Amino acid sequence: MKRRDFLKASGCFIVTASAAGMACGDDSSTGQPDALVTNNSFSFPQGVASGDPTPSSVMLWTRAEAEVAVSPINVTVEVSASKSFGNVIVSETVALTGGSDFSLRMLVEGLSPSTWYYYRFRAGDATSDIGRTRTAPAADANEQVNLAWVSCQDYSAGLYDAWRQMIDDDKSAAGADQIQFVLHVGDFIYETIGSGFQDPLDDSFQAVELKNRDGSARELPPFPSGGGVVPGDDGTFAASLNDYRHLYRSYLSDPNLREARARWPFICTWDDHEFTNDCWQSQANYDESATLAEPSETRKIAANQAWFEYVPANLTGAGGVAGVDPEAADFEPANVSDAPFTTFDDNGFATDADNVAAVGSMTIYRSFRYGANVELLVTDLRSYRSDHAIPEELTASSQAFFDPRNALPKDMVNIMDAGRTANGGNPPDDVLGFPNARKNSPPGTMMGADQKQWFKDSLMGSDATWKVWSNEVPLFRFLVRQGPIAALLADRLADCDSWDGYNTERKELMKFIGDNQIANVVSFSGDVHAAFAGYVMDDYDLDAGNQTPVMVDFTAAGISSNSLFSFYEKPTRSGAVASIRPLVTYDATANPGGAENFIENINCTLLYGSYAANDAAATKRSDSAAKTAIDNARATYPDANPHLLYADANSQGYGLAKITANQIEAEIVTMERPIDDQRGPTVKRSASFAVPNVAAGQAPTITGPTFTGTKPWPVNLG
């Protein structure tokens, strides 16, 4: 298929504002319906959206449907500088076909910087919602940049109260402080339906039935193909292109999400659930008892195509991504088979033809310049990453582990992640009594070689005040120190699907930033369904007193997904890991005046260590008695993660940032559990931080948190 023919079939068009012509590649034909259907009704059921703004362009999106099947559907795009559309600067008709699921992506060029525009779509007598979008500032403009960052909007686990709150607050904010764009750092959809972790939970952590405002059940219809069966689970997963399309259509049935996409341009990357849980390259990880047993190249192609059809992104290699065609750089159709991985390069990338084609079907890492103050680097930490450090079948052999990627021994993860470079190039044969399966492997990578070089070059080459990283997973070390409980015979890492599982590359990147004195690097991250803030250190393996902060990271909780706290609370109710429950939660049954259930003690474990958390739990109190126990333990044992300034592991919400030449103001908003649409959205708390601009060679500093609303445990003890 020729590039221009594919662009036409994929619903991708390019138009210049105030120009009479429309171009798609080098083909300006709009096409006509093959068969005219009279008295047909059209609609735009998934709303409208825009994305990837630059100072002179933005990508617009919609999807059309016809009551009586017809192809193509002719859709007219209109853009204006006024909501009344009194001065239309774009009016073009394009033809949409089933090849793109009747979705439309139009790149509008020739716009003015820092300008709000309005857009709408027409088909027959139908007119879409009116969308609003905003271009980026000129590259040298010293303007305040306001963004929100979000992740993890599992439709089945909770309502979209966070979107409603964000919209309502933004409407009442002063114009200079209104959100200019939304940074979505991944998990726009979840590829499974009915999996156990998707149960919406009440405040007693019991499953509840979600209801929409009209009283109807909030549930996802079955997959068109029937889906694949998740091993050991009642859930099914998306197995075809139509399955993934089905998920996007279903998620976009939510009015709050549709209104958010119509109100602001989005800049999106993906994490794992846009394809498959805990994925790497085109590999699934549902079966935790086998290694290299779930090649999923056909699903990767399907997931990429559906993302391309439903997420407005201008994948033109902005920022100089090597090997990307600047003309179109979109989804490349490819025929692949689900073939096992057999050969790997020196970065752990499977060079088998099917994996290369599946991963190479779309390149989404890219950068944006937002005035003089912001260089935004958007990464893809799934498509090129190597396998997780510890093989699945190894962790499945021991009852001491939650699963292959959580609560794992730190030394085992670090040694296996380092591969053949461990111990100065002399890796051990065994680690903690287990064979070292990665002894002859290269060190782990999240980015892969090409993306990592692009990332380094982008950091070095930018003269923007702030280098902002749209980072899918947190950079922090989440250490659970060995301690008073028998299961903690070794230090453990809470989440090894994040950067803790790829410690070698994290140290490489932090050393690069430090050695080159690149100041003012800030990460906005998500994925872990919890809120954190703090410093990213040059080497977490050094003693705390010898570590140097290199950059900062702010992690916002998911829009609706069940919290990190709930993930650890459920398995500790009974069984092999029940002994560590005091480090996760306890009932404050000895409190004067009655009991407090489910103390969020995992915050204490991460902030102050296992001894502090265990001693607090032993008091069965959540008042001054617990504070005394925590303070006494901290005086004897070092804090677990002194780089963390904030932890809120039982949360849903989002983050906000205001960026100027002088500082970044970051606010992490936590919502009440989003399970009651009759109540409406309610903010539980917000935590605010400030990061001042520092000169090259100076370490970053963070002030805060300052709170509105209730403080999380144990910060609320003072």
User: Could you read off the pLDDT of 8-17 as tens digits, one per residue?
Assistant: 556 778 889 9
Strand 374-378 to 466-471 pairing: parallel
Domain-located, residue 102: yes
Residue 399 vs residue 499, higher pLDDT: 499
Domain-located, residue 123: yes
The dihedral through the CA atoms of 714, 708, 651, 366 has a sign that is negative
Mean pLDDT in the chain?
91
Residue-wise pLDDT tens digits, 647-658: 999 999 999 999
Please report the pLDDT score of residue 41 as a whole number: 94
Please report the pLDDT score of residue 4 as a whole number: 44
In which residue are the tokens 């099917």 written? 354
CATH number of the structural domain spanning residue 101:
2.60.40.380
Q: For 594-616, what is the mean pLDDT? A: 94
Going by C-beta distance under 8 Å and a sequence separation of 6 or more, which residues neighbour residue 672?
Answer: 161, 679, 681, 682, 683, 684
Q: What percent of the chain is predicted at pLDDT more than 90?
A: 80
For 141, the token pair is: 């403009």
Q: Over 80: is that where the pLDDT of 23 sits? A: no
Please report the pLDDT score of residue 21 as a whole number: 33
Residue 99's SS3 state is helix
How many domains does the structure of the chain reveal?
1
In which residue are the tokens 């499977």 written? 350
Domain-located, residue 267: no
Q: For 574-597, what is the mean pLDDT? A: 88
**Residue 365 contacts residue 270 (beta carbons within 8 Å):** no
AA identity, residue 475: L
Q: How far is CA 137 from the centre of its chain?
A: 25
Domain-located, residue 216: no
Domain-located, residue 679: no
For 497, the token pair is: 């699907």
Please report the pLDDT score of residue 487 as a whole number: 80
Domain-located, residue 88: yes
Q: For 319-341, what is the mean pLDDT? A: 68
- CA 481 – CA 609 distance, rounded (Å): 6
- CA 258 – CA 246 distance, rounded (Å): 16
Residue 106 binned pLDDT confidence (cut-offs 50, 70, 90): very high
Going by C-beta distance under 8 Å and a sequence separation of 6 or more, which residues neighbour residue 291?
Answer: 387, 391, 392, 393
Strand 266-268 to 181-184 pairing: parallel
Cα of first residue to Cα of last residue in the chain, in angstroms, is 65
**Residue 539 contacts residue 507 (beta carbons within 8 Å):** yes
- CA 250 – CA 154 distance, rounded (Å): 11
Q: What percent of the chain is predicted at pLDDT more than 70?
A: 92
Q: Over 80: is that where the pLDDT of 321 sits? A: no
Least trusted range by pLDDT, from 1-15, 37-51, 413-427: 1-15
- CA 78 – CA 76 distance, rounded (Å): 7
Strand 42-43 to 22-23 pairing: unpaired
pTM tops 0.85: yes
Domain-located, residue 81: yes
Report which of 676, 680, 608 is spatially closest to residue 642, judged by C-alpha positions.
608
Domain-located, residue 60: yes
For 552, the token pair is: 């900062």
- CA 248 – CA 62 distance, rounded (Å): 12
Please report the pLDDT score of residue 322 as a whole number: 47
Please report the pLDDT score of residue 35 as a whole number: 40
Q: For 406-417, what is the mean pLDDT? A: 94
- CA 96 – CA 41 distance, rounded (Å): 15
Domain residues for the domain of 101 are 1-135
Please report the pLDDT score of residue 326 as a whole number: 42
Residue 522 binned pLDDT confidence (cut-offs 50, 70, 90): very high
Q: Over 50: is that where the pLDDT of 24 sits? A: no
- CA-CA-CA-CA torsion for 430, 431, 434, 440, nearest 10 degrees? -60
- CA 247 – CA 275 distance, rounded (Å): 11
Residue-wise pLDDT tens digits, 375-396: 999 999 999 999 999 987 777 6
